[in-house]
Amino acid sequence: MDYKSSGVDIEAGYRSVELIKDYVKSTNRAEVLGGLGGFSGAFSLKGIKDMDDPVLLSGTDGVGTKIKLAFIMDKHDTIGIDCVAMCVNDVACAGGEPLYFLDYIACGKNYPEKIAAIVKGVAEGCKQAGAALIGGETAEHPGLMPEDEYDLAGFAVGVADRKDIIDGSSIKAGDALVGIASSGVHSNGFSMIRRIFRMDEQSLSRYYDDLGCSLGEALLKPTIIYVKALKELKQAGIKVKGCSHITGGGFYENIPRMLPDGVRARVRRDSFEVPPILRLTQAEGKVEDHMMYNTYNMGLGMVLAVDSTDADAAVRAIEKAGEKAYIVGETVSGEKDVEIC
């Protein structure tokens, strides 16, 4: 008896590490100490010593059942971007700069080329966020997971000077709401999508004129990473009072999370574009509006609160960073909640 006959291929693990080395190296920042292969990742904090009161921020997440599409389509090089996005967007949402990221891949069987494709996506996400990929783990779970399946999760650490933290406390009635466009579904609500559409190769390869691509391509489109957009706002001198990352729970759960008591958000549904894939999802599933806005981002991956006098400048700064932005509403006095009108 040996470990390989038990389902764990140590040699495949070594091969995976060799294949991902260049991807990991491509994310390096000056603060990264050491290389791949140590028992822990080391990151120097010397660069934050000039902050008045540095605060570490962290985020951890996965990609939910979107990962099932990667299995069916046998496309694994973008799901890592989603994983990074779900973590670093939460860090950026609080005003933080993502510093480094770690991933965890659990698989039924270690196929080195597949693992390398996953990590390639993780590395791409890290580069988009300006974060270093300083470590990770690939664990084979024979007998626990099917051989051709895996799960992916990640963990990000960032930093902000305490005075720059975005906590929503200064939001008041009369502030403007600025939305940053999403790329589509992002990484939430796929349990419903998998009930609406057939999840097989034939269905996912079907081309839709309205989508301009196949159904699978539209659904697997990676989550946008908003780190650069928020950094551009800061460099433009625009104070972001509050920030909501629109993930699971859609508008109704996430927008109130940034609001102080006594302030209500009012979002105008005609002020931004709903992506074709979400319009198709609603039509095919006969999903009511409230459920759509309570599940999906509906075209806005982030919603920010800024002073009304800064709204136009905020849109310009976000678009300078390469993202589409809209003035989508305002805050009013009332019970802490969101209304969509």
Q: Are 159 and 209 in the same domain?
A: no
Q: Are 295 and 266 in the same domain?
A: yes
Average pLDDT over residues 146-161: 97
Last residue of a domain, one of 130, 164, 198: 164
**Among 18-22, 152-156, 243-247, 295-299, which is the least confidently predicted range?**
18-22
CATH of the domain at 244: 3.90.650.10
Assigned domain for 169 exists: no
Assigned domain for 51 exists: yes
Torsion of CA 113, 114, 120, 125, to 10 degrees: 180
pLDDT in tens, 179-207: 999 999 999 999 999 999 999 999 999 99
pLDDT in tens, 265-283: 999 999 999 999 999 999 9
How far apart (Å, rounded) are the C-alpha atoms in residues 127 and 106?
A: 23
pLDDT(3) > 60: no
Tell me the pTM.
0.95
- Domain that residue 61 falls in: 4-164
pLDDT in tens, 206-216: 999 999 999 99
Q: Are 136 and 247 in the same domain?
A: no
Which has more confidence, 151 or 37? 151
H/E segment holding residue 71:
helix 67-73
Last residue of a domain, one of 107, 133, 164: 164
Assigned domain for 170 exists: no
Residue 261's alpha-carbon distances to 57, 264, 328, in angstroms, are 24, 8, 21
Number of compact structural domains in the chain: 2
Q: Are 155 and 207 in the same domain?
A: no
Q: Are 16 and 57 in the same domain?
A: yes
Average pLDDT over residues 38-50: 86
Assigned domain for 300 exists: yes
Q: Are 155 and 201 in the same domain?
A: no
Q: Are 310 and 185 in the same domain?
A: yes
Assigned domain for 270 exists: yes
Q: Are 269 and 148 in the same domain?
A: no
CATH of the domain at 29: 3.30.1330.10
